Structure 1
Amino acid sequence: MSSLKVVIVDDEFLIRNYLKRRVCWEELGMEIAGEASSAREALDLIDQIIPDIIFTDICMPFMDGIEFSKAVVEKFPHIKIVIITGHDEFDYVKRSIKLGISDFLLKPVNPEEIRKVALELKSKIEMERTHIKEYEKLKQRLDESLPYMQEKFLNEILLGELDQHEIVDKMAYFKIIMNEQSDVFQTAVVEVSDSVGGPHDREEELILLAMKCSDLIRQVLKEDLFVHVFFDNSRKIVILSNNESLDLTDCCETIKALLINRCKCFVSIGIGNKIHGLKNIKVTYREACDALNYKVVIGKNQVVNYNDITYNSDQSWRGIPNKGEKLDFFIKTGMKYKAIELIDELFSESCFNLSITIENLRLEAFDIISTCMRVLLEFKIDTSSLWGKNTKPYEDVFRMDNLLEMKDYLKSLLEKVINKIHSFNERKANILIVQIQEYIEQNMHDSNLSLSTIAKEFYVSPSHLCRLFKQETKQTVVEYITRQRMEYAKKILKETNLKVYQIGEMVGINDPNYFSTIFKKFTGLSVNEFRKKVE
């Protein structure tokens, strides 16, 4: 690979000179292709040079490094940009990474940091160039592909659309080699999906991935003339074997490991039984598809034989009666274990049958998510505080393609929601208790102040208030009222010469004898004894 071109942009000559001279760019496989003292000058220079990497300061006159970077990325998205910034702008730069800035260095920079960033960017550039080359090669391969008519013919066999004579005649025409000494056939169906997700889920990328995997499978089986690899009508890879001695299960385990390692993708393989006769290839293919569909239960990266799968004989999706109401109740009451039990029951492997698809499971999951969202809205809880602004549960579920992954995800989601509701209720209870305590302090002179009057004032039941108050303060409402009244009475006794009945009325106890009794019980002293002690 030729040297990568580097451009330095900084309004200070000493900084530009430092960056040029303190790093041996040639050793890194790079060259300083140009430098500029301003962003405007740099834009003209970049149009001429089209560098691979730009090191730019963030603070420059007329146009700062962020605006400059935005202009560059819009025109040349492949160029890697490194922002050099002082401590004060550090947070600002981090927020600007979304513009396409590849990295940033904090001043003062040292040569080793520059070298490290440069080498990392070089590695990224090399990977991108390799990917582009592979992409172009695979795209050309896509245009060529397997001969269309040959693949179409093999799919007609899989679907049982041809009779015996048609199959034999067309096999000769399409030069498809079969074993004349054996009429035993067996099929395997391979499904691959990108393990990275995101933009790689584009249809073209998935087709290219499948083509790459099919090429690798052909390499594994290239010595066996009686094994054919092709795509079915749903773009799954089909392995059709006419080699009776081939252990297709062992072979598929090897293929699975190879694809996972080389393509970094998810692999699911279903294998049908061995059958006799060309006309019955459709049977082993259908069995392989049923075995492959079992990935909905056991997850990805599995090889499944048709004889190993177990389905519920009930061909209907049973669901759970009043599922939404039950889940709503479990969430609001904090019954986490009950909510988890409901998910386990709903997504039990035993409920799976041939008629159930991943779409059925997704719809059930969407209902659960909707219930969670509805409860959160009832409590006026911002959902972004629970799973972040960039996380979208519906999209997460839509990307899932098996029961186990979906079940684990929903359990985790429910735990988060229930914990959030619990925290919300705790904060709400704490606020209520503080308000009640303030109310008691302001109304302790009222002789009618009691548990029932306070409950009525705050629109809660006396039993709930009693339980909540005890939970938060470790004392009953009556105990708290009495304590506040006695503390205030002590204060009055210390500061005034009022009589006992007057003090009693001020703290809401109109009976002087009862006041004296309560006061002595609370302080251990009679009113007169307390007065003498504090005088």
Structure 2
Amino acid sequence: MYKILLVDDEPEVREGIRESIQWDTHGFELVGDCTNGQEALEAIERLRPDVVLSDIYMPFMDGLELTKHVSERYPFTKMIILTGYDSFEYAQQALRLKAYDFILKPITAMELRKLLDKVRQDMDEEKKIREDYTKLQQLLDQSLPLLKERFLERLVTSFLSINEIRERSEYFQITWPTSNYIVMVMDIDDFGSYYSESDLLKDAELLRFACYNIIGDLMDYYTGITFRTREERMAVILCGDQENQLYENAYKLADEIRQCIERYLKFTVTIGVGRVCASLDQLPLSYEGAVSALDYRFLLGKNRIVSIVEMEGTGPEGKPVPELNMDWSRKLASAVKAGILSEAEAQIEQLMRVWKESMMPIEACYLNLQKIVVVLMNVVQEMGGNEITLFTERGIVLADSYRFKTLDEIEHWVKGIIKLVVQFATEQRSDLTKLQVMRAVEYIEANYHSEEISLQHLCRHVLMSTSYFSMIFKQHTGDTFVEYLTRVRIEKAGELLQETQLKSYEIAAKVGVADPHYFSVLFKKHTGMTPTEYREKVARERQQ
């Protein structure tokens, strides 16, 4: 319901208008009527009407002057002027003073009702626009911190013009001293062991915010601004007049941040410090340097302050990048196949030391890591396994290497893969050994009667060296080759003594023993009886 105020110095006009309109049906409430502009101005201050319906000719203050005051003080209040034909020029002046409309006297009730409906419709639309604008303004106000952070992120990642930087800075009420600038980038190493996994599921974002707040508190003692990036890192743009002093302040602030976070939040951050630049449009160069410095955490470890200025002198420029050669790969594969875990791990440890000492770039590290994983996958494949199934069933994905932040973490990850492959190789080798021993036993069972059977013949059959075969055969059967062959021959001879009437020398020949006397000695050694005694004993047992 809108409020309307009626202003006219003629009582009969006011009464006629007041009584001829059902105000509420048109969405209005008549809050009062006044006899002149001065009285109306006081009522407007008190009642704050939405519409003022006023005559032009009135004593003390006419409608034209009233319109001027209302347009200046109450811009959302609509003035409707009542005028006669002879005051048309005055009405034009009123319109120039931002009066909503004017109507000619005499006016009928129907004309007035139509006018009220039109005013209400216009005011409804304006109200909706104002409400929408208010909501948008509220949303904008709520989004300003985020928009400010996105601007600062663009400032350090894109080469913006000085004019754009100034305009956007003014909008966000950011003041930049005309001096030198340096960018620092902070990244949480990990949340350490102080927090449980369930705590981190609930509070990881809270911990990041607490970390950001600590940085903000410390920034009270420095000139600059801090913000968060979309990669969940925190950045600081530090300002200063002297380049050397600015570097000193950056290191001091970085150390304060690192120590406070470790002390109060129980986890660590690594901080990269970029190069000093002399203008805001060159901030991307400083930011790029800070991010590059932060990447050295991969080689140096966590909880550090790394300056790109200090690192660029020890970087890999001009130095050959150590790469994996075929000889190294063959040694690793051989150690893994042989199941010598300690030797394989020692190779990895030595390789990581070389990478750290040479300050090998991260990209080269990742490339060589992929080569190591490929070597291990080939070992699995060569030993008859499915390398894809073996790795994926245990949640090992090649891309996992990119989620680690230090070379020490990578080393632990690679050793875990090596341990898995060594275990697989040991199991496969054990299964293969069993198969080879079974083939050897089958060969002995089929050829025990041959005088030509020998360890050399058998090893050629199973494609193994005599020394290795002798070792695994003893492990799986408990006998040496000769002991097992002799036992088989004696068992077969015993069967022939029970089932045939062959002579001892004939049985000896059938089981591969050329010397009958030697056969008798062997038989008695293993059974405690001569062949004749054994046959007689079997015969007596059958008669009972």
Indicate how the Cα distance of structure 1 residues 379 and 152 shifts in structure 2: closer, same or farther if over 3 A, else same: closer
1:428 corresponds in structure 2 to 432
Task: For residues 492-514 of structure 1, give each alpha carbon's deviation from its aligned partner in whole angstroms, at most 9, with x where no partner exists.
Answer: 43555432112212312233223
Equivalent residues of 1:192, 1:210 under 8 A apart: no
Indicate how the Cα distance of structure 1 residues 428 and 396 shifts in structure 2: closer, same or farther if over 3 A, else same: same
2:299 corresponds in structure 1 to 297
CA distance in structure 1 between the aligned counterparts of 2:342 and 2:490, rounded to whole angstroms: 45
CA distance in structure 1 between the aligned counterparts of 2:297 and 2:140, rounded to whole angstroms: 28
CA distance in structure 2 between the aligned counterparts of 1:168 and 1:144, rounded to whole angstroms: 19
CA distance in structure 2 between the aligned counterparts of 1:361 and 1:292, rounded to whole angstroms: 16
Equivalent residues of 2:271, 2:306 under 8 A apart: yes
Equivalent residues of 1:214, 1:230 under 8 A apart: no
1:404 corresponds in structure 2 to 408
Indicate how the Cα distance of structure 1 residues 315 and 482 shifts in structure 2: closer, same or farther if over 3 A, else same: same
Tell which deviates more after alignment, 323-332 or 249-258: 249-258
TM-score normalised to the size of structure 1? 0.57
Among candidates 510, 518, 521, match of residue 517 of structure 1: 521
Indicate how the Cα distance of structure 1 residues 232 and 442 shifts in structure 2: closer, same or farther if over 3 A, else same: closer
Q: SS of 1:270's equivalent?
A: strand
Following superposition, the deviation at residue 471 of structure 1 comes to 3.4
Indicate how the Cα distance of structure 1 residues 502 and 155 shifts in structure 2: closer, same or farther if over 3 A, else same: closer
CA distance in structure 1 between the aligned counterparts of 2:334 and 2:388, rounded to whole angstroms: 23
Following superposition, the deviation at residue 292 of structure 1 comes to 1.5
2:372 corresponds in structure 1 to 368
Among candidates 263, 270, 273, match of residue 272 of structure 2: 270
**Superposition CA RMSD, Å:** 4.7
Task: For residues 267-317 of structure 1, give each alpha carbon's deviation from its aligned partner in whole angstroms, at most 9, with x where no partner exists.
Answer: 4322469x7977998997676445412211144454446688665676332
Q: SS of 1:191's equivalent?
A: strand
Among candidates 310, 320, 329, match of residue 324 of structure 1: 329
Indicate how the Cα distance of structure 1 residues 268 and 448 shifts in structure 2: closer, same or farther if over 3 A, else same: same
1:343 corresponds in structure 2 to 348
Following superposition, the deviation at residue 343 of structure 1 comes to 1.6
2:386 corresponds in structure 1 to 382
Does structure 1 residue 226 correspond to structure 2 residue 223?
yes
Tell which deviates more after alignment, 499-508 or 509-518: 509-518
Q: SS of 1:448's equivalent?
A: coil
Task: For residues 337-374 of structure 1, give each alpha carbon's deviation from its aligned partner in whole angstroms, at most 9, with x where no partner exists.
Answer: 332222223222654556612x3222211111112112
CA distance in structure 1 between the aligned counterparts of 2:226 and 2:511, rounded to whole angstroms: 93
Indicate how the Cα distance of structure 1 residues 454 and 172 shifts in structure 2: closer, same or farther if over 3 A, else same: closer
Amino acid at match of 2:272: G
1:132 corresponds in structure 2 to none
CA distance in structure 1 between the aligned counterparts of 2:170 and 2:141, rounded to whole angstroms: 30
CA distance in structure 2 between the aligned counterparts of 1:510 and 1:444, rounded to whole angstroms: 12
Does structure 1 residue 188 correspond to structure 2 residue 150?
no
Following superposition, the deviation at residue 427 of structure 1 comes to 1.3
Equivalent residues of 2:156, 2:283 under 8 A apart: no
2:493 corresponds in structure 1 to 489
CA distance in structure 1 between the aligned counterparts of 2:157 and 2:468, rounded to whole angstroms: 69
Gaps of 5+ in 2: 1-138, 193-204
2:147 corresponds in structure 1 to 145
CA distance in structure 2 between the aligned counterparts of 1:387 and 1:260, rounded to whole angstroms: 36
Q: SS of 1:508's equivalent?
A: coil
CA distance in structure 2 between the aligned counterparts of 1:218 and 1:250, rounded to whole angstroms: 11
Following superposition, the deviation at residue 139 of structure 1 comes to 13
Task: For residues 446-479 of structure 1, give each alpha carbon's deviation from its aligned partner in whole angstroms, at most 9, with x where no partner exists.
Answer: 3333223333443444444334323322322122
Among candidates 422, 425, 436, match of residue 418 of structure 1: 422
CA distance in structure 2 between the aligned counterparts of 1:155 and 1:503, rounded to whole angstroms: 94
Indicate how the Cα distance of structure 1 residues 379 and 286 shifts in structure 2: closer, same or farther if over 3 A, else same: closer
Equivalent residues of 2:439, 2:462 under 8 A apart: no
- The number of aligned residues is 377
CA distance in structure 2 between the aligned counterparts of 1:231 and 1:354, rounded to whole angstroms: 29
Equivalent residues of 2:258, 2:270 under 8 A apart: no
CA distance in structure 2 between the aligned counterparts of 1:288 and 1:150, rounded to whole angstroms: 15
Tell which deviates more after alignment, 304-313 or 338-347: 304-313
Following superposition, the deviation at residue 394 of structure 1 comes to 0.9
Following superposition, the deviation at residue 144 of structure 1 comes to 4.3
CA distance in structure 1 between the aligned counterparts of 2:376 and 2:432, rounded to whole angstroms: 20
TM-score normalised to the size of structure 2? 0.56
Percent of residue pairs identical:
26
CA distance in structure 2 between the aligned counterparts of 1:213 and 1:349, rounded to whole angstroms: 38
CA distance in structure 2 between the aligned counterparts of 1:142 and 1:346, rounded to whole angstroms: 50
Tell which deviates more after alignment, 331-340 or 187-196: 187-196
Q: SS of 1:239's equivalent?
A: strand
Indicate how the Cα distance of structure 1 residues 228 and 297 shifts in structure 2: closer, same or farther if over 3 A, else same: same
Amino acid at match of 1:338: E
- Structure index of larger Rg: 2
1:253 corresponds in structure 2 to 258
